[in-house]
Each structure stands twice: as C-alpha cells, then as structure tokens.
Structure 1
Amino acid sequence: MPSRTKAETPRFAPVILAGGSGTRFWPRSRRARAKQVLALDGEQTMIQQTLTRLLPLANPADVWVVTNSLLDKTIAEQLPNVLSEHILSEPAARNTAPACALTAFLLFNSAPDTVLGVFPSDHVVENGKRFAQVLQAGIEIAADGENIVVLGVPPTRPETGYGYIEQGDVVAEADSASGGVPIKIARVKRFREKPDRHTAERFLAAGNFAWNGGIFLWSARTLVYAIREHSPEMAPILQEIAAAYGTPNFARVFAEQYPKCENISIDYAVLERRSAKGEHKSGIYCLPADFGWNDLGSWASLHEHLGEAEADNVLDGATTGIVAIESSGNYVYAPGKMVALLGVDDLVVVETPDALLITTRDRSQDVSKVVRALHDSDRHELI
C-alpha cells in the first residue's frame, strides 16, 4: 500500500474539463450555453458548483479550466477567482487525453510534484464533506511516487451508459475526518467499456465493480511520464505548447499544434494501457465516490435528482404553477407559464423563448438526435 513519508501537504491543482456541446439538455443548452454554465439544480451553475466543492482543498489560483471558445468568456464571468490565463480554450476538440495532459505538461518543469485532479464540470455531488474527505485521501496517494487514483461510483443499477472499473484487492483503509466511514483503497484490475444489459447485471452482482465517473488524480510528473510511455506521439506536441506558454507565441503555437493531438480519451490513452501491466504493477488505485454522485446526463436524470420519488411531477425553473390530474412522473420547465397536465405520465416538457421540447423520460437520452436534425436542416440558430 502506498504511504507518504513527507510531512508537507501536497500542492493540489484541480483541472476542470468544461468543453462539450450541451446537446442532451436542449433546448435549454446550446453550443454557447452548454450544461456546465446552466443552473440546473440551484442558484449556482454546474461549473460554479464544481469549483465551490473543490475550494476547501484548493487555492483558486491553482485551478485550471479546459474549455472552448464558445464558452470561455461565460466561464470567466462565472468563475472570477480563477486566473484568466488558467482558462484554456481548445483550438479543436480532441477528447479528454490531450485536455487532461495539457496542464501536466504546463506544470512539469516548474512544479512536477503538483497533484492534478481531473473533474468534469457538470456533475452533482450531494455530500460535499464526504467528497472532500475522499479527495484528500486520494491526493495523498497520488502524491506518493507514480500512483494514479480513480474515484469509482458505487453502482446502484445495471447501468449500460457508463464505463466500469473492476476492483481488485482492498489494500488499506484511509481514516476520514471526524470519525466518519473509513475510505477503502482498492487496486484496479482493469477498466471495462460500457456493457450490454446482461454484462451490467453481472457486474452489479459481482460486487467489485464501480462506475467510472471520470475523476482522476495523479502528479504532473506521473501523467507526463505516462503520456510519454503510452501515447508517445502526443508528448512532443504538448511539450511544444507548454514551452510557448506565457510567451507572445502561445496562442499561435496552441492553435497550430493542439489539433495534431490524437482524438482519444484519457481512459484509452493511459488508464487502460497502464492497467494492462496488472493490478500489482500498474499503481492504479480506486477510492469510493460514495458522496451522492450524479452526472445529470439527461432530463430523466435531472427528474430523478430533483424528485423525491419516481412518480413525482417535477416543476422546475420559474414555472408559475402546475395542475396535475391523473398524471405522474413528469418533468416540466416552462418559465412564466402555468402548466396543466391531464392523463399523462413520464413526460419531459421544456420550453424556452424559441423552442419547445416534448418527449418521454425514457427517450430523453436521445435529445441529441433533435440537435443533429436541426443541424442537418441548417437551423443553426437553434443549436
């Protein structure tokens, strides 16, 4: 089991991934108003919530955001305490491997021991205190040598929409603050792709599988070395970009070089390849993300998050009232409107000034098909 001998607290730099096109929450989300800059479950936007829960462990000056040119100005306005030079706009979307590794290369020469944490910008955490406890334990492990830490969400259903982490031996338990539930630290056997229903049921029954929530911890040095080993064609590109950071040439070099990076996820580029070494050699550890995690991936998951029961009618936003007669399980967002439901179940109704979405909760994962249809019919003003 990894253990640190240094007394000092590791420097921690969160990297918030905030790209994305916002298709699954259409019509509220658009290319320039994606899910992460919307307030879907409170007064704060999703990215503001992400930063807020990280601040107990991180200095705002150490926070980085990787986004795109459609969202960077909005994010800078919503996160005024994050340094403007730490908000990086990708010249081209290249999946999560280049986005995760870019900051590691930027910090490698000056602060290679910094522990980087990768965090999606659009997830929900219900128990912020437990989140901080698990994260602190993970930071300590990631600061020790070449270890990599992943946070695995305890599965509650045979979900086919997530990747899975197959856990091996539990090697230790980290104490949590104030006598809370100990944090089990398990080796990672391997990462599993999104399964079919039968396989997902088998994973759930096995008891040693967790959902991959996309939260990772590693030192800048560890990730740079891992990219050099497992994705060697990407390393010199990112190294050249890092060398130009802080100079007048950075924007040009970034725009010219970054699109040359392979379009690949960090899971494929590093984690799966490193886990192939075997659970006792890979140095990858899994900690439980047992803090009420939800990725809010669709209108249906937002209904689940906001409603107390499956049959609840959820009235969201500034809708002025609802009359529900023989109707249940519906999600409604219609600001300024009184909504009447009569004899309908499990619908999603979302109104914006220029669009109206009506679908069922079990089809809400397919809302991106509407966006594709609008694109194909040149209705770009609605995207």
Structure 2
Amino acid sequence: MRHIEMIEDAVQFALTTALDNWIREQIPKNPSAWLFRVASNKLVSELRSETRHNELLQDNLEQLSRRAAEPSQFHLPNELEDEMLRMLFICCDHKVPIESQLIFALKSLCGFSISEIAIRLFSSEANIYKRLSRARNTLKKISPPSFELSNSDYIKRLPSVTRILYLMFTEGHLSSNVDFAIRKDLCEEAIRLTLILVNHSVGDNPECHALLSLMFLNLSRMSAREDMSGALLLLEEQNRELWDRGCIEHGLYWLAKSADGQHFSRYHAEAGVAAEHCLASSYKKTNWERIVDCYLLLEQSAPSALHQLNRAIAIAEWKGPQAGLEVLQANTPPSWLASNYLWSAVLADLHLRAREYQLGEYYSIEAIHSAPSQQICDLLKRRFAKSRGEGQ
C-alpha cells in the first residue's frame, strides 16, 4: 500500500511489454505468471533505484524476488480464495471513508478511469482525484496492512464490496467509455466475483442473492442492445428472441432465493424491475404499474433523486408523459443530477412527447451536449426523434 503508485506503474509496464513481445513472439503458456514476473521484477528494480538499498529494500527484496518467480497461492482459513475479491475487501478498510474506498478500488483494482468513476458517482473529476489521493495516503499509513481479515471484518466491509461489484456491472452494462458502449467483460467479471461471494458464508444472504439476480437479468438482454453496426438500441427496438433465456432463468432463480427472510435492499427492487422487463412478451405488454411500485420501494430503501427520475419514466409509460413530468416538477433535483445528461434527457423526452416542443428542444440540446460518449449521444438523438413523432 505504501508504494501503490509504483505498483500501478509496474503493472502498466508489464502490460505494454506484453503487447510488444506477444505480437512478435508466441504467447507464454502461463500469461498471468509472465505478467506477474515482469511487473514484480520492474518493481524490484524501481525500489532498488529509489531507495539506494535502504532498510525497506533489504527487508523486502528477498520476498519480492521469490514472489516474482512463483505467484503465491496461499490462503488462510475463512479467507476468500479469489485474489481479486480478497483485495476488494482489503481495500474497503473502515479507516477510509466509504466513497474513497469505492474510488480507490474502482481505480486501482477494477481499471476504471477517473472520468468513468466521476460519471458513476455523479461527481467532478477534481473531487475524485482528491478522494483517491486521500484513500492512498490513509492506506499507506495502516501498519501493518490488514491482509488477514476476520469474519467480522468481511461482514463489516461487505456493503462496500457489493456496491463496487454493482458499479462494475453498471459500467459494463452502459459504459461511459468513449470507445465501447457496452463492456461485457466487466459484466462477466462482476458476475464471476459475485458468484464466488454468494458461495462463501459471508455473502450467502438475500442482498447478495438479489444483486446476482439483477446482474443475470440485465446480462440476458445484452446481446440485443446493439445493432450490426454497434449502435445502441432502445428497449422497444430490441429483438426479444435474442435475449438469453438461460440468464433469465438464473436471474429468476436468484431472485426467488433472495426472498428468504425479512431483509429488503435496493438490489431487490432493481432486480424486480429487471424481472418485469424480462418477463414481458413485448414492450407494449410491460407491466409498468409493477415497475412503478418497485421504484417506490427503491426510493424507500435507498432514497435518491435518481430513483425518482426512473419512477417518472415508468409513470410516463404507464399514464402518459404529463404524469411523468408532474413527478419531476414536484421536486427540485440536487445539483449533481441537474447537471447530468440523464436529467436533461428525461425532461427532453417527456416534454417532446407532451408536445411542449420549446422546452423539449432546449433539454434535448443540453442532454446531447453533455452525453459522455458518442454512442449515448446517438442513442439520445434517436430517442428524441421518436418522441417528436418523426418516422412514425
């Protein structure tokens, strides 16, 4: 933790070296071990250069060199065997504020860029940089590093870890990356880690089951969310025959399992919304009343203006655009949402559908201007064209 920046640089060096070497030569039999060895050797070299054989290097050089030759597979009792998942728990130390835990884990472990984190947490990039720096400084001061976690440590840190997994999947499902609208690799990694979690005693609970259900249900529609050119498709444009029935069955299984006990979480409500979409035979036959009920429960379990925005969308589908506008006009959005493209996009859509074209055009310009990627920008343009009634 004290040398996290140097570790990140060493990992980046190993990856760029692999790109160069593996194009010209054969890929090694064990790519992970190769990357680990190159990164570790690079780190040892940097430590030797930086510290001039000081006490830290003398204490740790032998251990680092040994690990470079063979990555450790040692696990203590009660620990999670997956290294990535264990590191997520280690990063979520209670000495670090929750938001800073998320930022550090998303940046250092999940590979998110600063801009992607800022979009997901509805914050500015400057604020993300500050929180990341504070998290790094705090983790550096923790001595010795708490790599051996007790069962109570796992339980205390579980909410932070599930939120990280949720954000990882969310970014994959609709990416803010300028090159990729959908990042299935992130979604699959989030599901892999969550499956490991629910099969461990610490994660075998209704909340984690509901999170896994949400992931599977949303993953089921992923192959139908892009056309042949890679452009994003609206929900009503998707070919439902392309939806993965196996994923839907997995999602419904975990949703039923999440109903055990009295605990209700935001993941239950969001999985309920996803289930209604997956069970509807067509867009027109979607049970929007049930979806509105799910969003009401979501607002109660995890109050947020974003959930209210989603409820307004569902009400507009159920009762018409004016009813959706009434929900939004009844409350003033917080600044973090009012400045986000989602707020402008929904207002543009509802005003255009309500034939309030002047306001609709104003908000459509705002939404398109602030969209985080070209793919989302194109999707918004097509959505607004439908809202105006063009091409119908």
Provide TM-score, normalisation by structure 2.
0.26
Q: Which has the higher contact order (CA 8 A, sep 6+)?
A: 1
Higher-strand-fraction structure: 1
Provide TM-score, normalisation by structure 1.
0.27
Higher-helix-fraction structure: 2
